[in-house]
Amino acid sequence: MANSALFAHSLQDWIGIGPLWVWAAVSAVVILYAIALPFAGIATYVERKVSADMQDRFGPNRVGPFGILQFIADFVKMLAKQDFIPQGADRILFSLAPILVLAGACAAFAVLPLSKYFLGADMNIGILYALAVTTLIAPGLLLGSWASQNKWSLLGGLRAAAQIISYEIPVALSIFPAILISGTLQIGQIVETQGWVWSAQAGTDYHFWNAFHNPFCFLAMFLLFVGGLAETNRIPFDLPEAESELVSGFSTEFSGMRFGLYALAEFVDIFVMSSIVVALYLGGWQLPFINIDQLSDSIPTLLVAFIQLGCFLVKVFMLVFVVMWLRWTLPRLRVDQLMAACWKGLVPLALVNLLGTAVWMWAFNGRSIAQLVLGPMVN
């Protein structure tokens, strides 16, 4: 992939001056402040509206039109609250924990393929990097819960860590089928291979979203989504903050902006999780049935970039909506059910998927269902 694909390079090209590392830093800040934080804010509003609709209520409707400014009001309220550290708490770890959690969630933004032209860093080990930085969340939650010196917090933190570590395995195993098909860990290339036309001799073959490559991949997408749901501690996997048992779990003692960081990290994590599902299995920035790369000859690149960004965000928001929808549909699992679901359900299924995809790739020489049914495309 050309270097100009990276966001920092694009910025440098458009503006034309300044060393690259300045633009890299700028792009990190832009991605964080233009996408991650507004998304988290609006997601809290949407979540409240969606839940209100599902329960036949109005939801926030006082601040601004349709209550849309509610999240800004919440944010200001959180900033204005007293920054309270309980007596007997471990002050250093108490301050460090929310930062670790948010840093882990935000760092993954570097490799999210928002568009072919808006990529923080299309690194060689892209998807592995995303897995790696998000592991910072587990120690963060654990430390925060311990530092609170509160038994509810500690129980919540222990649950969170156990849950995240256990579900890491089916998540990783469900990522592998996509890697087998695309033959690379580089997220930009994984999305590229899911385009309408992509092969060594362009125009002779077609590929489509990895989810529809073979039946195993279709299942793997759902496993990845469910595993991701558990890793973000969302219902039905929200045992770490089960409010009926643990007050508020790991975040019980946190107030003001520290609590805000936890809430922010949760929504950023949901965005990251949904983005990974979209990038690996739902075609990332690719528009279905339209080859956007051919259009880029006739329309300006910047427009193509924004069309791709739109495609990606629409897909991600649909998944985020599913996450919210599940929250008001499913009851919470018990701890033993949670572990049984992971080790007896998801892990064996993920292994079968991995093996199945490998056998499929070997038996059909890497061809997808569409290619087998429709034959090679004649251009």
Partner 1 sequence: MTTGLKIVLLLAELLCVSSAILVTFHPNILHAAVALLFAFLGVAVMFVYAGADFIAGVQVIVYVGGVTVLVLFAVMLTHWLYKVTLRDVRKKLIVPIVLLVILLVPAVYKSLVELASSSQNIAPERVAEFAGSAKTALIGQALLGNYLLPFEAITILLLGALVGAVGLARPK
32 near 106, Cβ under 8 Å? yes
Query: Smallest distance, Å, CB 316 to partner 1?
Result: 23
Interface with partner 1 includes 64 (CB under 8 A)? no
Q: Is 162 left (phi over 0), alpha (psi -120 to 50) or beta?
A: alpha
One of 36, 50, 114, 154 touching partner 1 (CB under 8 A)? 154
Query: Smallest distance, Å, CB 92 to partner 1?
Result: 7
Number of residues engaging partner 1 in binding (CB under 8 A):
30
One of 129, 209, 262, 271 touching partner 1 (CB under 8 A)? 129
Helix (H, G, I), strand (E, B) or coil at 200: coil
When the beta carbons of 164 and 316 are compared against partner 1, the nearer one is 164
Six token digits for residue 147: 């530092």
> Which of the ranges 55-63, 122-130, 292-300, 361-369 carries the binding residues for partner 1, by CB under 8 A?
122-130
When the beta carbons of 14 and 21 are compared against partner 1, the nearer one is 21
DSSP string across 295-356: HTTTS-HHHHHHHHHHHHHHHHHHHHHHHHHHHTTSPPPPHHHHHHIIIIIIHHHHHHHHHH
User: What span, in angstroms and rounded, lies between the C-alpha atoms of 97 and 145?
Assistant: 8
Six token digits for residue 379: 């251009």
Cβ neighbours for 286, distance < 8 A, ≥ 6 positions apart: 191, 194, 195, 196, 209, 292, 308, 311
Q: Residue 199 carries which DSSP code?
A: S
What backbone phi and psi angles, to 5 degrees, belong to 119? -125, 125
Residues of this chain, 156-195, that bind partner 1 according to CB under 8 A: 157-158, 161-162, 165, 168, 184-185
Query: Smallest distance, Å, CB 199 to partner 1?
Result: 18
Binding mask of the shown chain, residues 71 to 90, with x at each position contacting partner 1 by CB under 8 A: -------------------x
> Which of the ranges 77-85, 91-99, 228-236, 283-291 carries the binding residues for partner 1, by CB under 8 A?
91-99
One of 31, 46, 89, 123 touching partner 1 (CB under 8 A)? 123
Residues of this chain, 299-358, that bind partner 1 according to CB under 8 A: none
Residues near partner 1 (CB under 8 A): 19, 21, 90, 92-93, 96, 123-125, 128-129, 131-133, 135-136, 138-139, 142-143, 146, 154, 157-158, 161-162, 165, 168, 184-185
